[in-house]
Amino acid sequence: MLDQLSTLSHPGRNAIFRLLMRRYPDAVPAGEIAGTLDLKPSTASAYLAALRGAGLIRQSRQGTSLRYRADTVAAQGLVHFLFNDCGRGRADLRPRIPSPHANGGDPMADRKYTVLFICTGNSARSIFAETILRDLAGDRFEVHSAGTKPYSELNPTAIEMLRQKGHDVSGLRAKNVSEFQGPDVPVLDFVFTVCNRAANEDCPVWEGQPMTAHWGMPDPVKAGGTEAEKLLAFQRAYGALRNRIIAFNSLPLETIGRMSLQNAVDEIGASRQEGEDA
């Protein structure tokens, strides 16, 4: 454990580990890691090797690309070491992790859970997710979406697709994540990033420690090719998000434990729908 603490004490290695934790369960290409953190390839390679040597991350290969994923079991072991060994198990040092029920209260079957979907532009993917979950289970969830760098207008193709599928789009607008940070904001139960760029950003810790997960998928706004191919990219993004949201809505939130719930939302993010890039 001491070698893991020593490895994470270096700012560059720590930044990579935090990035991979935000992107979990994704396996992130080495080049993307270097580009996101503005590191030279050789520097990133050295930092990744050190993290692998300490058992904090895992390496895999996809074609010619090396990809890296955080080892959450190792991270869990490190937290336990700090609490049980270094902290001697003192109750006042125990991490305060709220229950998925009423932010620490008793289970409440009639309570609405608050969900925030985040992408960079808040113009297509997060708007899809917000609309789908609200229309599918608006009696169970209060749903919002936001962008880290939102566009001034929603993507017209995304809005037209929602209309064609029977969704009400009258109240939709692009919002900045800052609207959900600070005092007098909705208390969030779940925060899902649906694009890699948004997950890559080191945002402040959310108030109330909501459950977080990464459900990244390709940006249909950036799709190339013919008009039919571009429209297909929006259709695939909509379909993939709808499948994930159906799976999320089926979870027994009123009774499931927090660890099981975290595993479940991670597994939903790890699922790849037909036509979706890995």
Q: Round to the nearest angstrom and report the end-to-end CA distance of the chain.
A: 32
Q: What percent of the chain has pLDDT over 90?
A: 64
Q: What percent of the chain has pLDDT over 70?
A: 89
Structure tokens at 223: 């799709």
Instruction: Encode pLDDT of 47-70 as tens digits.
Output: 999 999 999 999 999 888 899 999
Domains and CATH numbers, the chain: 2-73 (1.10.10.10), 102-270 (3.40.50.2300)
CB 67 within 8 Å of CB 23: no
What are the distances in angstroms from CA 21 to CA 8, 51, 163, 240?
13, 13, 36, 23
Q: With 80 as the cut, is the pLDDT of residue 100 above it?
A: no
Tell me what the pLDDT averaged over the chain comes to: 87
Q: What is the C-alpha separation between 175 and 202, in angstroms, rounded?
A: 18
Instruction: Encode pLDDT of 6-56 as tens digits.
Output: 999 999 999 999 999 999 988 999 999 999 999 999 999 999 999 999 999
Nearest of 187, 178, 164, 185 to residue 118 by alpha carbon: 178
Instruction: Encode pLDDT of 154-204 as tens digits.
Output: 999 999 999 999 999 999 999 999 999 888 888 899 999 998 887 787 666
Q: What is the C-alpha separation between 103 and 187, in angstroms, rounded?
A: 8
The predicted structure's pLDDT at residue 108: 42
The predicted structure's pLDDT at residue 107: 46
Instruction: Encode pLDDT of 104-161 as tens digits.
Output: 444 444 578 999 999 999 999 999 999 999 999 999 999 999 999 998 899 999 999 9
CB 72 within 8 Å of CB 65: no
The predicted structure's pLDDT at residue 249: 96
